[in-house]
Amino acid sequence: MRKTPVLFVSLLIFSLITSTFTQPTALAQLNLNAAQPPVAERAPHKTDIHGETLIDNYFWLRERNSPKVKAYLEAENAYTDAVMQPTKPLQERLYQEMVGHIKETDLSVPYKYGDYFYYSRTEAGKQYQIYCRKRGSLSAPEEITLDLNELAKGHSFLGLGDYAVSDDGNLLAYSLDTTGYRQYTLYIKNLQTGQLMPEHIERVDSVAWANDNKTIFYTTEDAVTKRNDKFYRHTVGSSASDLLYEERDELYDVYAGRSRDRKMIFLESGSKTTTEVRYIPADNPTAQLKVVLPRETDHEYHVDHRNGLFYILTNQSAKNFRLVTAPISNPSKQNWHELIAHNPAVRIDDIELFANHMVVAEREGGLQKLLIMDLRNKKSHRISFDEPVYSANVSTNREYNTNVLRFSYESFVTPNTVYDYNMDSRQRTKLKQQEVPGYDPTRYTSERVYATATDGTQIPISLVYKKGMQRNGQNPFWLYGYGSYGLPRWPGFSSNRLSLLDRGVIYAIAHIRGGGEMGEVWRDLGRMNKKMNTFTDFINSAEYVIKQKYTSPEHLAIQGGSAGGLLMGAVLNMRPDLFKAALVQVPFVDVINTMLDASLPLTTSEYIEWGNPNIKAEYEYIKQYSPYDNVGAKAYPAMLVKVSLNDSQVPYWEGTKFVAKLRAMKTDHNPLLLKVNMGAGHGGASGRYDAFRDVAFDYSFVLTQLGITN
């Protein structure tokens, strides 16, 4: 049968399904310049709050199962496909470049756990990793523990959650998400026979094995709010589980884990600002849960175990955390012994305990640090790193009785590199560096500069570009930002990004307040009633790179996703003149409506990040910046807004409503596209080749707006 051209099909679908909506009289034509976007119907929805009436004309787009909503989303996709049709050659070129920069058949560095060496590998043409192990030595025969490519058959999406092997190596507890909604089902596989055990436990978020190789502890989420609220004990093969704890405070989630020395099972209950930890001896799984320290408002603490002592990382009288030890028999504060004092300039992120050593992950001056302490004599030193901006993280370390730390290092210029570090001799051994075909690191350089914020604060900006760049104000520039939850965004390597750098694009991260690069104060200065700092910091960062002639508004593109999508929406409303184009991914832009709906996933636990609009003062502050509520009749830059139908973190309708309102109000003729992933969640496509296609699509949109078409 003769094939109908794809473009014609897209436009035909568009013309058929948009008949449901209010729309321009002229339908999209084959001439792409005349393509008309779908126009969403206006159906006013009223919300009365604090003496005001809010009108939401696009509230109806929340009706996920409505045929009308589905048709509208498909119409948006058809329109986007039509507009993007001329970029197909560029998309294909970018995709081939990205695939060409990876080693398609590759394997990870094996790590030892018990009698086995574990690793994962990829095969050319296959979307997902294959998890494997070898018994005794790396020359032993390979055993495949999980082939995600096989498990993905019949599904458009596959996400692996937990992967936990029992101490004897016989049983594997793993969890899968097949929709993108981050709703995981727990399975247990007998690695001796390859058969699945009868357990299929729904909504599992964390798993820990007891020492008896037959008891697992796990946490589950609430079916409606997706808050992790229950903690269970389960004997493998049994038909029931014992509920050991239920977290009833709506601000808290629970998470289960086990100490590296295999002595303790920990259950942490945590809100955005307060934690409480319970424990069970791992060799006595039927014991009662005990509390380490009762919760106190704004006291965050985390616990590990070694040699009969609890190691407690606490922010009690220590904004950036300090480390104390306490006996298990009585870990109350009067029995604390300080091991690392508070340093206002250094934020302690985490600790890793070994038989004779401790590794402390720190942040100082907007950079990651790794501190090694010999616990026998309390002497310490840091691992040194040479580049101006980089990322350094503790890698997989399953063995407790070892003096070797495995860590990973990368930068804007250096591909991910895995090292073994002898904590006694201080000798560093490179095990593997990500192989990037066609990449020459000497062609690129990175730097860190500082923008001055409105209040005088210095905002770090990390940049990378191809050598020979001239600061003439004409360079295409890609500025990324996030700035929420105290989560830092460290400069890492991306082989995909080479497609930008090789086309002369300067790539940068603005380390704005609300993130955590500069410690806890940095976080607090960009949340709750200080949230506006996040947006003005980003604007000031953009102004800085323009003033310093790295670029100009006509050449400046911006990107942010999730809470970074909120950032995009806010700055586009505040300073639309400052940017040429924006990539807005799964954006949290409908802040007031979302935070007023306690039935939505994450809402209640977020009250202490954004504020609770049921409280008048907090409502008034949120209303100042909520992107959906501040869309105006003004000219906006070109925008590509991306949402996912199965997104559990930021519902698809937030970005969809944002686009609908922009279409109705904006005064410019710049492209405004909505792309809806109908079969994935918050993180987009799960297969690696599908993900490359997505990135190529995003790049082609932005590059085209910056005048780069090849």
pLDDT at 610: 97
Q: Rounded to an integer, what distance in angstroms lies between the CA atom of residue 520 and that of residue 318? A: 10
Query: What is the helix (H) or strand (E) element at residue 553, kind and residue range?
Result: none
Place of tokens 């001056």: 365
Mean pLDDT of 375-379: 97
Q: Give per-residue pLDDT as tens, 547-585.
A: 999 999 999 999 999 999 999 999 999 999 999 999 999
Quickly tell me which residue has 């040194």 as its tokens: 384
Residues 6+ apart with CB under 8 A from 604: 225, 227, 250, 251, 598
Q: How confident is the model at residue 224 (pLDDT cuts 50, 70, 90)?
A: confident
- The per-residue pLDDT for 402 is 98
CB hemisphere CA count around 466 (13 angstroms): 14
Question: Residue 393, SS3?
Answer: strand
pLDDT at 118 exceeding the cut of 80: yes
Bigger pLDDT: 127 vs 1: 127
Residues 6+ apart with CB under 8 A from 70: none
CB under 8 Å to 521, separation ≥6 — which residues? 319, 320
Alpha-carbon separation of residue 502 from 75, 94, 362 (angstroms): 35, 11, 33
- Which residue among 562, 644, 648, 686 is the active-site one? 562
Rounded CA separation 172/196 (Å):
9
pLDDT at 1 over 70: no
**Rounded-to-10 torsion of CA 252, 254, 258, 260:** -40
Using pLDDT thresholds of 50, 70 and 90, give the confidence band for residue 14. Answer: very low
Measure the CA angle with vertex 601, ends 600 and 604; round to 5°. 80
Annotated catalytic residue: which of 162, 205, 629, 647? 647
% of the chain residues with pLDDT over 90: 93
Residue 684: CA count within 13 A, CB half-sphere:
18
Largest Cα separation within the chain, whole Å, is: 82
Q: Is 298 a catalytic residue?
A: no
Does the active-site annotation cover 647?
Answer: yes
Decide: 181 and 678 in contact? Cβ < 8 Å: no
pLDDT (tens digit, 9 = 90+) per residue, 470-518? 999 999 999 999 999 999 999 999 999 999 999 999 999 999 999 999 9
Model pLDDT, residue 33: 57
Q: 3-state DSSP call for residue 418?
A: strand
Can you give the three-state secondary structure of 424-437, one letter per residue?
CCCCEEEEEECCCC
DSSP 169: S
What lies within 8 Å, CB to CB, of 16 at 6+ separation is none
Enter the tokens of residue 230: 């229950």
Query: From residue 397, how far is each of 194, 259, 264, 378, 684 by CA, in Å?
Result: 26, 12, 17, 21, 29
- What is the reported pLDDT for 96? 98
Do 625 and 531 form a contact (C-beta atoms < 8 A)?
yes
What average pLDDT is seen over the chain? Answer: 94
For the domain spanning 445-705, the CATH number is 3.40.50.1820
Q: Is the pLDDT of residue 26 over 60?
A: no
What is d(CA 29, CA 58) in angstroms, rounded to the nearest whole number?
Answer: 27
Helix extents (H) in 405-554: 498-501, 520-524, 532-547
As a whole number of angstroms, the distance between CA 579 and CA 261 comes to 52
Domain ranges of the chain: 105-154, 162-302, 445-705
What are the structure tokens assigned to 277, written together? 């930890």
Q: Quick one: DSSP state of residue 650?
A: S
Q: Which helix (H) or strand (E) holds 113?
A: strand 111-113
Options 234, 302, 305, 682, the catalytic residue: 682
Name the token pair of 499. Answer: 């497609």
Work out the average pLDDT over 377-390: 96
Domain 162-302 is found in CATH 2.130.10.120: yes
Query: Cβ(625)–Cβ(611) under 8 Å?
Result: no
The token pair at 535 is: 């947006």
Looking at residue 28, the DSSP 8-state letter turns out to be: P
pLDDT bin (cut points 50, 70, 90) of residue 35 is confident
Query: What is the CA 401 to chain-centroid distance, rounded?
Result: 32
In 223-356, beta strands by DSSP E = 228-235, 241-246, 253-258, 264-270, 275-281, 290-291, 301-306, 309-314, 322-327, 337-340, 346-353
Give residue for tokens 């989630």: 253
Which helix (H) or strand (E) is 695 found in, with range? helix 688-705
524 is catalytic: no
The pLDDT assigned to 601 comes to 84
